Structure 1
Amino acid sequence: MVDFFLSYLKNEKRLSAYTLKAYATDIKQFESFVLSFHENLYLEKASYQDIRAWIISLSDQKIDNKSINRKIATLRTFYKLLIQKGKISVDPTFGIKSLKKAKKLPVYVEETPMENLFDMVEYPNGYVGLRDRLILELLYSTGVRLSELINLKTLDVDFSGKQMKVLGKRNKYRIIPVIDQLIVLFKKYQQEVVSQFGQTSEFFILSDSGKKLYPVFVQRKVKHYLSQVTTISKKSPHILRHTFATHLLNRGAELNSIKELLGHASLAATQIYTHNTISQLKEIHKKSHPKA
């Protein structure tokens, strides 16, 4: 039945060679596991208990839940086909639940490297250096998404009110306060834009040629400058968004306030940052408490 199953996936489902290989590996691993306990037992006769035992065995081998869930999905597809073809009457995967995926904590830059990014890194002279610094300052000081930064319009920046309006997900606008230091940088940059291109533009932050920014341009800039102050593996605009939220939380900001600043639809999306704060508290406790 294994060969029939793989033939079905290839010819009727038209799965890619890579996906087909993954299915083949999963079903053959399960077959080997079952035969190690039940000699000459066909997969059609495998039971719910056999599948449960396999999942426990995989977990004991420290295989991550994401991979185990893929293997469970392979078995569901296999036994669903056997039901359709009348080979079995009871699906042994019925009642088998996928394992919970471990939540990945947001990666962020520590405060000292962020201070070095603005105090020690050398930026080019003139328009390019001022613009590059503004991109980094804006991402870190406001927590805006990459798309929000790119689409920020000149008219949406309120210098006197010290705030800016950004268009976020679900086409919802939100108002973000802007610190004095960033307002000063905004004004310097706008003067440099007029000097460089003769006038201001519809979009606030521009490319080297005075055009609207595009994602890869910003991603390259962020990676270039972050590489000078941190060794974290991922260096992207979204990392600066994580850094913004984590630093605020570490310094006592309320979760609800951070939610509004980030433009999250629910508090659940913001709560993941509390895990970083708890990890930091545990580390402080470990280093500081006499009994730790």
Structure 2
Amino acid sequence: MAGYLDRLTAGLPTAWAGFLLDWDRSLRAGNYPETTRYNYLLAASQLAHYLGEDPDEIDAGDAALDPTEVARAHVESFQAWMVKTRSASTALNKHKALQQFFRWLRDDEEEIARSPMDRVKQPRTAKKLVPVLPEQDTARILGVCKGKSFAQLRDEAIIRLYYNTGARLSEVGNLTLDDIDMATDSVRYHGKGGKDRRVRFGPRTGRALSRYLRARAKHKGAALQELWLAERGVRGLAPNGIKLMLKRRGRAAGVADVHAHRWRHTFAHEWKRAGGDSGDLMLLLGWASDDMPRHYGASAAAERARETHLRMGIGENV
């Protein structure tokens, strides 16, 4: 993702490009993660490009040249276009990012008196249950990692960490050697907003990590601080590389749509299904909002309801 600023500001009018550069500097000063900064600036860049193409739905006017001229109607037109060409959930993500951008223009830069987002409604999105990964599917994925090659040992350790701890893609992907403590069987995750947390892992995950670390010590990149190394060369394996690896292992195992977030949902699902405390789940998964356990635990609640329905046998006694 390095060099994203050049890509996002390419072809933009001077005022738009200048404000995005300044906003990125402000976000970096606030210690926002690179992924968050990229997604925020991407939304603003897309709005600028949309207005610059003079959409039929609305007269862009000076807003195409300067973000301080953007009005509510411009944002609503862009949002409707996003719903039409992408999806409601994508439009919602852009809405939230633009709220941050125009709040920064208003409060920090004092370039506008009122945010054009103030009366723009969020796009309504359908509530969907994210499918969990059944245990047998994870077993099949781990099965294609079985072996003694460097990539097999590494990939099994990565997958077991996701399954065993419910961590985010970036949290596992950005681990360093110092974050793993084999003496206490624990891992230190660097979560959103600069919040660190330490999570214990089980014996099978510990065994997989130990085997990988022994292989890693013989790798030509052993001196690097990144925990995960690319199979070839002297470089780390970035989160995006892990994302591609998971899809590749999923295809080899015959399991569709494999990504790290499904194990995060699975972790929350199994935790809630077993009657685990929501507060403890928030601590383990690094959540700050009470809404998250409800959202991630929705599939477990639905499954408990189905099990109760079958047990009660309503309508089966006549």
> Shorter-chain TM-score: which interval?
0.5 to 0.7
User: 1:224 is matched with which residue?
Assistant: 248
Provide the C-alpha distance between the structure 2 equivalents of 1:201 and 1:225, rounded to a whole number of angstroms: 25
User: 1:137 is matched with which residue?
Assistant: 160
Contact 1:246/1:276, CA 8 A, preserved across alignment: yes
Q: State the shift of 1:99 in Å.
A: 8.0
1:9 and 2:9 are equivalent in the alignment = no
Contact 2:141/2:255, CA 8 A, preserved across alignment: no
Provide the C-alpha distance between the structure 2 equivalents of 1:143 and 1:155, rounded to a whole number of angstroms: 20
User: 2:170 is matched with which residue?
Assistant: 147
Mark the runs of 5 or more structure 2 residues left unpaired by the alignment: 1-54, 65-73, 93-118
Q: Deviations over 1:221-259 (max 9, x none)?
A: 111222345655x32122222222212222332221111
Identify the range of structure 1 (222-231 vs 180-189) with the bigger mean alpha-carbon deviation: 222-231
User: 2:199 is matched with which residue?
Assistant: 176
Q: State the shift of 1:206 in Å.
A: 1.3
Provide the C-alpha distance between the structure 2 equivalents of 1:121 and 1:101, rounded to a whole number of angstroms: 36
After TM superposition, the score normalised by the length of structure 2 is 0.59
Question: Alignment partner for residue 239 of structure 2, among 191, 203, 215?
Answer: 215
Task: Look up the equivalent residue of 2:201 and give its one-letter code.
Answer: V
Q: Residue 203 of structure 1 aligns to a residue in which SS?
A: coil
Larger Rg: 1
Q: State the shift of 1:219 in Å.
A: 0.8
User: 1:105 is matched with which residue?
Assistant: 129
Contact 1:9/1:20, CA 8 A, preserved across alignment: no
Equivalenced residue count is 220
Q: State the shift of 1:286 in Å.
A: 4.0
Q: Residue 136 of structure 1 aligns to a residue in which SS?
A: helix
Identify the range of structure 1 (163-172 vs 208-217) with the bigger mean alpha-carbon deviation: 208-217
Contact 1:141/1:244, CA 8 A, preserved across alignment: yes
Provide the C-alpha distance between the structure 2 equivalents of 1:97 and 1:144, rounded to a whole number of angstroms: 32
Q: Deviations over 1:14-57 (max 9, x none)?
A: 579x959959x9xxxxxxxxxxxxxxxxxxxxxxxxxxxxxxxx
Contact 1:109/1:230, CA 8 A, preserved across alignment: no
Provide the C-alpha distance between the structure 2 equivalents of 1:109 and 1:65, rounded to a whole number of angstroms: 25
CA spacing shift, 1:21–1:244, aligned 2, 3 Å: closer
User: 2:280 is matched with which residue?
Assistant: 257
Q: State the shift of 1:175 in Å.
A: 0.6
Contact 1:107/1:239, CA 8 A, preserved across alignment: yes
Q: State the shift of 1:139 in Å.
A: 1.2
Q: Residue 196 of structure 1 aligns to a residue in which SS?
A: coil
CA spacing shift, 1:103–1:191, aligned 2, 3 Å: same
Q: State the shift of 1:265 in Å.
A: 1.0
Contact 1:193/1:200, CA 8 A, preserved across alignment: no
After TM superposition, the score normalised by the length of structure 1 is 0.64
